[in-house]
Structure 1
Amino acid sequence: MSQSWWKILGAVLVIYSTVYGFLSTVPALPILHQSIRNLYFHVPMWFAMIVLFSISVFHSIKFLNNGNEDSDLKAVQSVNAGIVFGILGIVTGAIWARFTWGQAWSFDVKQNFAAIALLLYFAYLILRNAIDEEQKRAKISAIYNIFAFPMMVVLLFVLPRIGDSLHPGNGGNPGFNAYDLDSRMRMVFYPACAGWIMIGYWIYTLLARVAKLEKKKTL
């Protein structure tokens, strides 16, 4: 129980942010209207994804230092969990775009770069499946992972700011923190981010544990 407090906290924060995300009042803004509630779901998915990919690159670096297969296993399972949240981020974003921009996929610069960033990690999984020898696979995929992470950061946070984008905080558009994320929304948004990150980390630990058990069975 003492080791599970953060799991309980994560679940409570997600339930709280979901309930209040639909029931609490939001600023009356043109274009966005009630769709601004998706901020409580769309953005936390990306935050959780980034945290999980950060954990993955940490374990990839650790593997290259110590050659421990456990580090390689944690790296790949963190990517698996991160990809789930990346897909949820794109899906919730497409739903939001449908109601605010008129179409689910408008080829906005940030939409495109987000899709490319996710494809980088699909390529990571494909690379792993293409190499049979375990140590070689782990080493090559770890090196790829280390280079993929900064590329993902550039795709999500740097390149969209260079060109025009419909997304807040990009292409000259004001960000939510300076425009319309008032104190009422912060009381839901911040717990949502923390809660989904904890749930994402929990999913990663479960995947890693299952992978370890499966590996023991094959030995």
Structure 2
Amino acid sequence: MHKTWWKILGSVLVIYTAIAGLLLGVPHLAILNETIRNLYFHVPMWFAMIVLFSISVFYSVKSLSSKSEIDDIKAVESVNAGIIFGLLGLITGAIWAKYTWGQFWSFDPKQNFAAISILLYFAYLILRNAIDEEQKRAKISAIYNIFAFPMMVVLLFVLPRLKDSLHPGNGGNPGFNSYDLDSRMRMVFYPACLGWILIGYWVYTIRFRIRSIENKQQHN
């Protein structure tokens, strides 16, 4: 039980998010209206992605000194899990955009930079597949990952602020501040963030175990 409590917690929080997110009241804001409920899914999925990419860069740094295959596997599988949630973030964001901006993809700066940040990590996976020698692959991909992470942060949090955007908080579209994100939404939003992060970490641990078993079978 002590090893699974966080999995149960994550599952409960995500189920709670789905139910409460659809049933509890939300502020009636111009442009957003009922679509604001997507905040419980779209934003937490991005948070889960960022946490998973943070885990990945940690193990990339660690693998450069340890030269451990385990650390290298943890780095790549956390990226694989992070990409899943990044794509879910893009999809939920595109659906949200359709109902608030009128089209799935409007080439809004935040949409564009978010897509580029995901492509950075697809490039990481392509780089790994292009190198056959294990130690060389681990070293080069670790170095790439260490540089990709701050680039992802800049793309998601810095560059979009330098341009006008339809995204909430820009261009007349209400932002999620203390006025907009009322107590009803906080009761769902904060548990949603924790729940999706825990589910994302669970996906990463499953992928890591599967990859470890595959590697052992290859070496036997």
TM-score when scaled to structure 1? 0.98
Distance 1:77 1:4, change over 3 A: same
Q: For 2:204, what is the secondary structure of its paired residue?
A: helix
Q: In structure 1, how many angstroms separate the alpha carbons of the residues matched to 2:94 and 2:200?
A: 21
Matches within 5 A, 1:163-178: 163-170=163-170, 175-178=175-178
Matches within 5 A, 1:1-219: 1-170=1-170, 175-219=175-219
Q: Is the 8 A contact 1:162 1:171 kept in 2?
A: no
Q: In structure 1, how many angstroms separate the alpha carbons of the residues matched to 2:161 and 2:12?
A: 35
Output the amino acid matched with 1:32: L
Output the amino acid matched with 1:72: D
Output the amino acid matched with 1:8: I
- Percent of residue pairs bearing the same amino acid type: 75
With 26-35 and 175-184 compared, the bigger mean Cα shift is at 175-184
- Post-superposition offset of 1:172: 7.9
Q: In structure 1, how many angstroms separate the alpha carbons of the residues matched to 2:181 and 2:195?
A: 19
Q: In structure 1, how many angstroms separate the alpha carbons of the residues matched to 2:169 and 2:78?
A: 28
Output the amino acid matched with 1:98: K
- Post-superposition offset of 1:166: 1.1
TM-score when scaled to structure 2? 0.97
Alignment deviations for residues 65-102 of structure 1 (CA, whole Å, 9 cap, x no partner): 11111000000000000000000000000000000000
Root-mean-square deviation over aligned CA pairs: 1.1
Name segments (4+ residues, structure 1) moved above 6 Å: none
Q: In structure 1, how many angstroms separate the alpha carbons of the residues matched to 2:169 and 2:77?
A: 31
Instruction: Structure 2 unaligned segments of length 5 or more: list them.
Output: none
Output the amino acid matched with 2:167: H
With 136-145 and 169-178 compared, the bigger mean Cα shift is at 169-178
Q: In structure 1, how many angstroms separate the alpha carbons of the residues matched to 2:132 and 2:172?
A: 47
Instruction: Structure 1 unaligned segments of length 5 or more: list them.
Output: none
Q: For 1:177, what is the secondary structure of its paired residue?
A: coil
Length, aligned pairs only = 219
